[in-house]
Copies of this chain bind each other. A is one copy, B any other.
Amino acid sequence: MTYCLALRLDEGLVFLADTRTNAGVDNVGTYRKMHVLQPTPDRLFVIESAGSLATTQEVLDRIRRDLAADAATESLATVGHLFEAALYLGRLSHEVASAHREALREVGADGTATFILGGHVGNELPDILLVYPEGNYIRASDERPFLQIGESKYGKFMLELAVQADVDLVTAAKIALGSMMSTASANLSVGPPYDVGIYVNGARTISEFRIESHSPLLDKLSKVWERQLLNGIAELPPITQDDVTDVRTGA
């Protein structure tokens, strides 16, 4: 599996992706799953991928081939809106998976991929969209302004916390790392290094960095969360008669 996420805040966007890939437990690799593309100065795209590594690589190769082709070819340089970029990405993804479907089915495999596409085109407000293997997409909502692909369940509570606390971009990135570490500790198919992208609205460029497995930050972050949760245990209220119903009497 994989775990990638994106958050949309008032100030900008946060992206985070793990890098672990595996085809069985005896074939584990490290691949970048977060890709930044800026084909022209007026647009910036961040693509995160989950699912078939072969499909995501072929999709990225086709995106680059289309960008190098003549201006009549639809590409990330020609789309007029971010949603058109999502449809374009969805079309490529569906085409690639379809091209290999029969052969993969024979060995019981599935070549589909799911993407998060974030960024902006022209003067539109930056946004994040989730592109399904079938080629359609959804946006993040105002009430739940984050998207996750891959192993999304373990770390969801942390992202909800970031939304609730209405934090700034860098703090959101740190909470997202908490979400990632929580997932990686529960699921071997998710692991470091982690790629982080922070886009400030209007900046037209993205701050990108990688956090290696030996980074002191990961250790510091997990210690803070651990201490706070352990503090929480000490403060848990007692269970009183008002709190419960007796199973035998129903009172």
The B-contacting residues of A in range 147-197, CB under 8 angstroms, are 153-154, 156-157, 160-162, 164-165, 167, 170-171, 173-175, 182, 185-186, 193, 195-196
What 16 additional pairs, Cβ within 8 angstroms, besides A154-B154, A154-B156?
A160-B185, A161-B226, A164-B226, A170-B239, A173-B239, A174-B236, A175-B233, A195-B247, A210-B244, A210-B246, A221-B237, A224-B232, A227-B232, A228-B229, A228-B232, A228-B235
Name A's B-contacting residues (CB within 8 A): 153-154, 156-157, 160-162, 164-165, 167, 170-171, 173-175, 182, 185-186, 193, 195-196, 208-212, 215-217, 220-221, 224-233, 235-240, 242-247
Q: What are 18 sample pairs from A and B whose C-beta atoms fall under 8 A apart?
A: A153-B153, A154-B154, A156-B186, A157-B157, A161-B230, A170-B238, A173-B239, A174-B239, A195-B247, A211-B243, A215-B242, A215-B243, A216-B242, A217-B240, A224-B232, A227-B232, A228-B229, A231-B231
